[in-house]
Structure 1
Amino acid sequence: MEPPGGIALTMIMVCLTVVTGMLDAVSFLALGHVFTATQTGNLLFLGFGIAGQGGVPVTATVVSIGAFLLGAALGARVESGLARLRRPWFPVALIVEAGVLAAAAAAAWQTGPGPGLPPGRRYAVIALMAMAMGMRNVTAMRVSAPDLTTTVETRAMTALVSGSPVGHDRRLGYGRHLGGRRVASVGAMFVGGLLGAALLGLGTRPMLVIALVAVTIAATAFMVPGLAHRGTTTED
């Protein structure tokens, strides 16, 4: 089973982008200035930390990057293997991602909204979240939904401005009505970060935010077959 197309796929990827923002809010604000999805930021943090500037935690950053790469490798193996067998790789990938995030929530059990976990458990939570995001990146790349990577918005922001009447670049989509999807992509990441930060600010424990994300991704996975079938029926 291939992922659904059109508006259904856009809605799914926008939803996944929102929860990505929520996860990075948890990792950065509650686990100690480290990202689990935005690895570009982690690469910079690692450079800052090695240089001894800014008090950036090197160990947490290395754990996140390493776990992210491991998740990407596992995701590629699982998803490509299922695709070769003509199995429904897209919903399975989302379910596995949700399961890894559920494990992260369990590892963060009974913690408050601020940094307070013992180092070992904190690194375990970071690693599990980053592993899930590594898998997600493989999923997003295999889906290849334009402007909807779910974890990086730099290209979408550039395309949004460059392909608009401001930039007027036809090669980047000017005149093709792509602005709505790009706005949705960028806005979803902002909303996710805002929502995650707001929940933590209200005293919600990180484990509950991570668990909410896991449930949302699992629910999305269970919706995929119906959306794909509906899309096929519409095309027929």
Structure 2
Amino acid sequence: MKPKPGRALTVVMVLLTVTTGMIEAVSFLVLGPVFAAVQTGSLLLLGFAVAGTAGISITATAASLAGFAVGAVGGSRAESAIDGRGRRWFTAALVGEGLLLSASAFVVWRIGIERSGGPVDGRHLAAISMVACAMGVRNVTTLRVKEPGISTTVVTTALTGLLVVLHPLAADSRVGSGAGEESRRLSSILAMFSGALFGAWLLDRSVHPAVVLAVPAGLVLALGLALSALPRERTSVPG
């Protein structure tokens, strides 16, 4: 069963976008530099690293891509299997992602990654792979949900659509407009920025990276459990 469209789903997707900003703050500023959710960035960084650019690790970006692939494939199979049984795959996906992120935060805590800088070693690769795996699940979930204007992991399309629709010199009705559409796009952009800002602010004030990562982990897990506790007819529709 797929999630029921409406304001509640939009709010959940916006909150997930906030978590992406926080997760990437930890990933890029502490574990990498590398991206866990925005794999376009990882591909670019891998190209830079192969070209010999200093400060960018080939192994770190490769670990992120590999972890993401495992999460995407595994998440797709799991969600399809749950859907095939007529159950709520969206809530299960959120709980699974939250558990993966929680485990990642625990690993970061246990292996002692506390600050940015220094060479990327096996500890970093393990943490990067786990976080990217969770984000692979997230991206599959987002593709299945198909919430207009909110992808939760990238905002380029939302930003482009907002600019094209709102700017008088670029108005294009074929992009899709309307108060709801524009509101979702703007919310997506602000959510990503706010998450990144908050995550970087916490890290700048010496909050342990595991704690910063635990915040989005807890939020995603809480959303999944809260939706699971609600009656099926309030959160899901057939299809």
Give the TM-score category using the shorter length: over 0.9
Q: Secondary structure of the equivalent of 1:142?
A: helix
For 1:6 and 1:54, the matched residues in 2 are separated by 47
Percent of residue pairs bearing the same amino acid type: 44
Distance, in Å, in 2 between the alignment partners of 1:63 and 1:164 is 40
Which of 126, 131, 137 is the aligned partner of 2:139? 137
Shift of 1:76: 0.3
Q: Would you say 1:113 and 2:123 are equivalent positions? A: no
Aligned residues of 2:149 and 2:181 also touching (Cα < 8 A): no
Which aligned pairs between 1:48-59 and structure 2 lie closer than 5 A? Answer: 48-59=48-59
Letter in 2 for 1:148: I
Q: Map 1:20-99; keep pairs closer than 5 Å.
A: 20-99=20-99
1:211–1:87 CA distance, 2 compared to 1 (3 A): same
Q: Which amino acid aligns with 2:162?
A: L
* 1:106 Cα deviation from its structure 2 partner: 1.3
CA offset digits 1:151-209 (Å, max 9, x no partner): 01111110111122432211112355521111000110000100100010111111111
Summarize the Cα distance change of 1:100–1:231 in structure 2 as closer, same or farther, 3 Å threshold.
Answer: closer
AA aligned to 1:220 is L
Query: Offset at 1:31?
Result: 1.1
Match of 1:126 among 125, 128, 137: 128
In the aligned structure 1, how far is the partner of 2:84 from the partner of 2:215?
A: 32
What RMSD over aligned residues (CA atoms) do the two structures have, in Å?
2.0
Per-residue CA deviations over 1:113-170 (Å, capped at 9, x if unaligned) read 3346971121111000000000000000000001111001111110111122432211
In 2, distance between residues paired with 1:68 and 1:111? 21
Instruction: For 1:68-217, list aligned pairs within 5 A.
Output: 68-109=68-109, 110-115=112-117, 119-166=121-168, 167-175=170-178, 177-217=180-220
> SS state of the match for residue 178, structure 1?
helix
Is the CA contact 1:2–1:88 (under 8 Å) kept in the aligned structure 2? Answer: yes
Residue pair 1:108, 1:117 contacting (<8 A) in 2 also = no
Q: Is the 8 A contact 1:113 1:204 kept in 2?
A: no
CA distance in 1, matches of 2:120, 2:49: 21
- The Cα shift of 1:27 comes to 0.6
- Unaligned 5+ runs, structure 1: none
Structure 1 distance, partners of 2:190, 2:38, is: 16
TM-score normalised per structure 2: 0.91
Question: Counterpart of 1:168 in 2: which secondary structure?
Answer: coil
- Asked whether the equivalents of residues 105 and 210 of structure 1 are also in contact (C-alpha less than 8 Å), the reply is yes
Is contact 2:148-2:181 (8 Å) kept? no
Secondary structure in 1 aligned to 2:33?
coil
Three-state SS of the structure 2 residue aligned to 1:108 is helix
TM-score (norm. length: structure 1):
0.92
How many residue pairs align between the two structures? Answer: 233
